Structure 1
Amino acid sequence: MDHVEIAVIGAGVVGLAVARELALRGREVLIIEAAGAIGTGISSRNSEVIHAGLYHPAGSLKARLCVRGKALLYAYCAARGVAHGRCGKLVVATRAADLPRLARIAEQGAANGVDDLRLLDHAQALALEPALDCAGALLSPSSGIVDSHGLMTALLGDAEHAGATLALASRVSGGVRDGGGWRLRVGDFELGARCVVNAAGLFAAELARSLGCDAPALRFARGHYFALAGRAPFKHLIYPLPVDGGLGVHLTLDLGGQARFGPDVQWLPGTDPATLDYAVDPALAPAFEAEARGYWPGLPQGALQPAYSGIRPKLTGPGEPAADFRIDVAPGLVNLFGIESPGLTAALAIAEWVAESLSPSPTASR
């Protein structure tokens, strides 16, 4: 039976960031991914937004790791040549009655350490985005966008350069404690590992149970995206006020300036991640257009086309307050549960957290 010091299970952006951080600290790392390529799940089916850290309770993991992760991510992208843009975001209130909610978001962001926020009145918002219709807006200059695939490629390259190894098409079906470490079942083989990091995303709870650990009952929410035919007259990301389960149908821009709208929130009845469906029903387009016209009345009729969907692993269900990230640490084991938005932004900070939780090591730097 082969042995490795640390097995990181899951090659999404968080798993790759964790593997990179551990490898850079001198740890022996094997990244194990069930799919045939990196980042095929949550990491490639999102808005690719770099979040500022506006919405989450002060002191929560989401708030702390988002703010820290944003700083790390911008610096990393600049250093490694990963395509990104600090385009800024406007959170809009379409009715005067909603302006107090906007002010509360600004207060929450400030409490989280986001120090560049500006509340704008109607005229100030339109001066930035003339096609916008709103009663007021909150400007977040440090919000941005990133090429998530380029980011994951860079993280993998760094990890491998530091000695990590990637095993694709290798599903971990379970494992047991073995002395001071683990004996994992990987396909038809067994692998010994001193430590395990469960970064399996949608499969994280299922994997944890297969390792004999308690795990939360994850809820899955699908979010659909529609692409705009033609160019949008916006330079900033445009977000409505948050809704139950998400941040509302917002307008995001890719690095080429093309716009897409989404995601909505569709709670799924199933709990088996292997049976989840990523289809986008074209019949949803009118509802997306109606949402978007709340802040962009000039959206042309029939201009939205189905793009893709993503599925988020949630620790709470419909009508319940959003849950924090859950990072469970036990001897030789870290389980990452409910790593949804802002997980992409927070990835490098999550990696620091996990690496510190697995210290000390004879070869690790503090």
Structure 2
Amino acid sequence: MLACLGRRKWRRLSTGTLKATWKSVNGEDASSSRGRIARGVSSGAETIAKERVDTVVIGAGVVGLAVARELSIRGREVLILDAASSFGTVTSSRNSEVVHAGIYYPPNSLKAKLCVRGRELLYRYCSEHEIPHRKIGKLIVATGSSEIPKLDLLMHLGTQNRVSGLRMMEGFEAMRMEPHLRCVKALLSPESGILDTHSFMLSLVGQAENSHATFSYNTVVLSGRVEEEKMRLFVAEIGSFVAQLELIPNLVVNSAGLAAQALAKSFHGLDRRFIPSSHYARGCYFTLSGIKSPPFNSLVYPIPEEGGLGVHVTVDLNGLVKFGPDVEWIECKDERSSFLNKFDYRVNPQRAEKFYPEIRKYYPDLKDGSLEPGYSGIRPKLSGPKQPPADFIIQGEETHGVPGLVNLFGIESPGLTSSLAIAEHIANKFLR
């Protein structure tokens, strides 16, 4: 579906009538054009309809949805564009569904500040809107004495980030709490939890629509250009690589996730010096089978590894036990592949061979053959192998010089937890 803006309100067009509508706005059968969308546009293959709009959010993942909701309830007319047929089909539906406390991130970084603030907002939102969630707590464990200094560092970081309730535990205390666990020391984070991500996103969609935001799925932004101090977007129905509509927004939020950098590179007039490099890390999840009840009641995390937080155990709201994700650095062959999300999400069953020894460090009772392939996700990272972790980038005119453009780069974990805080940050900083 592609939404077009009438004189003062959004007009919705179904995908079934879209092609006919494009013909009418280009001068063919102009008499049947509903709302006279292409007022004054003459016919011809190179002429497309133009629409002035208020705010465009590109990407209907959890962060894009949160931004759309926040901007719309603050009175902006918001149009959300996504190439998929529904919301949250990529990274937002391929994660651990964990509510992070804010422990791992450098003090005063965006990740630290937005995770802590986002967690507060998220728990409040879930309670007010009856989104299934549980604050089940997390144990970050050291399985050998050599890991204790790293655990101490995490305690220090979490304290600096003002994460409440953190407590260092001796191994016997943690194992009394979780009898199947084996560790020499553990950091307890009682503020960590889990939620139903789909219900959360569905609620955000409803809240945004109640505030008159409009969603246009199966819609791709092909490119953009800066003209007369405004970003112009060239939009098409998915499957077409010919621009069918030119949007002229006052504000554009690029929340395209894995495709954010590729999309930004298509914006003529945006200096590429301000577009960071892209790195992609696939993470696979395996589920635990052959058990009557979950072996753990809390989240259990090992010491973080390069590129991720380690192969951890998550118990979802239905009692399903998941292990993952691991880290597999992958190459993206070309910009169009990332732009169209042409990634391989298959889980190779043989990767379980690497999971067993990692999990048995803290869960020695794991039986052979008990791991079954689950699903995978891909992290949109700003740093690659052997590089230090990068912070979120929320980039506006003060950085790149393009009026009305906000780029979101590298919104990986804790993006879900931070989503409402990211939206609040954007609204406070960029709304005029």
TM bin, normalised by shorter chain, reads over 0.9
The residue number in structure 1 matching 2:172 is 123
Q: 1:329, 1:357 within 8 Å by CA — same for their partners in 2?
A: no
Q: 2:223, 2:234 within 8 Å by CA — same for their partners in 1?
A: yes
Q: 1:228, 1:258 within 8 Å by CA — same for their partners in 2?
A: yes
The residue number in structure 1 matching 2:364 is 297
Of 238, 244, 264, the match for 2:306:
244
Deviation, structure 1 residue 232: 2.3
The residue number in structure 1 matching 2:260 is 204
Deviation, structure 1 residue 348: 0.3
Q: 1:52, 1:143 within 8 Å by CA — same for their partners in 2?
A: yes
Is it true that 1:344 corresponds to 2:344 in the alignment? Answer: no
TM-score (norm 1): 0.97
Q: Deviations over 1:305-339 (max 9, x none)?
A: 00000000111110110000011111201000000
Is it true that 1:6 corresponds to 2:55 in the alignment? Answer: yes
Q: Deviations over 1:39-96 (max 9, x none)?
A: 0111000101000000100000000000000000000000011111100000000002
The residue number in structure 2 matching 1:325 is 392
Equivalent residue letter for 2:247: L
Deviation, structure 1 residue 21: 0.3
Q: Could you say what secondary structure the match of 1:171 adopts? A: strand
Equivalent residue letter for 2:373: P
Aligned residues: 360
Q: How does 1:73-88 map to 2 (within 5 A)?
A: 73-88=122-137
Question: Unmatched 5+ residue regions in structure 2?
Answer: 1-49, 237-243, 398-402
Q: Could you say what secondary structure the match of 2:262 adopts? A: helix
Of 144, 152, 157, the match for 2:201:
152
Q: Deviations over 1:242-276 (max 9, x none)?
A: 00000000001110121100000000022532331
Q: 2:380, 2:411 within 8 Å by CA — same for their partners in 1?
A: yes
CA distance in 2, matches of 1:218, 1:2: 32
The residue number in structure 1 matching 2:288 is 228
Of 314, 319, 336, the match for 2:381:
314
The residue number in structure 2 matching 1:363 is none
Q: Deviations over 1:201-233 (max 9, x none)?
A: 000001111113221111000000001113321
The residue number in structure 1 matching 2:226 is 177
CA distance in 2, matches of 1:346, 1:43: 12
Is it true that 1:334 corresponds to 2:334 in the alignment? Answer: no
CA distance in 2, matches of 1:77, 1:2: 36
CA distance in 2, matches of 1:200, 1:234: 35
Q: Could you say what secondary structure the match of 1:275 adopts? A: coil
CA distance in 2, matches of 1:334, 1:41: 21
CA distance in 1, matches of 2:196, 2:324: 17
Q: Could you say what secondary structure the match of 1:131 adopts? A: coil
Of 195, 199, 203, the match for 2:251:
195
Q: 2:144, 2:183 within 8 Å by CA — same for their partners in 1?
A: yes
CA distance in 1, matches of 2:231, 2:304: 42
The residue number in structure 2 matching 1:219 is 279
CA distance in 1, matches of 2:68, 2:253: 9
Equivalent residue letter for 1:338: G
Q: Deviations over 1:138-188 (max 9, x none)?
A: 000000011111111000100010110000000001111232422211102
Is it true that 1:110 corresponds to 2:159 in the alignment? Answer: yes
Is it true that 1:256 corresponds to 2:291 in the alignment? Answer: no
TM-score (norm 2): 0.82
Deviation, structure 1 residue 190: 1.6
Moved over 4 A (4+): none
CA distance in 2, matches of 1:64, 1:193: 30
Equivalent residue letter for 1:265: V
Over the matched positions of the two proteins, sequence identity in percent amounts to: 51
Q: 1:180, 1:194 within 8 Å by CA — same for their partners in 2?
A: no
Higher mean C-alpha displacement, 268-277 vs 165-174 = 268-277
1 or 2 for the larger relative contact order (CA 8 Å, sep ≥6)? 1
Equivalent residue letter for 1:307: G
CA distance in 2, matches of 1:8, 1:359: 13
CA distance in 1, matches of 2:216, 2:143: 49
Of 329, 337, 342, the match for 1:267:
329
Equivalent residue letter for 1:243: E
Q: 2:164, 2:191 within 8 Å by CA — same for their partners in 1?
A: no
Q: 1:279, 1:309 within 8 Å by CA — same for their partners in 2?
A: yes
Question: Unmatched 5+ residue regions in structure 1?
Answer: 361-366
CA distance in 2, matches of 1:10, 1:131: 41
Q: Deviations over 1:94-143 (max 9, x none)?
A: 00221121111001000001021000001110111011000010000000
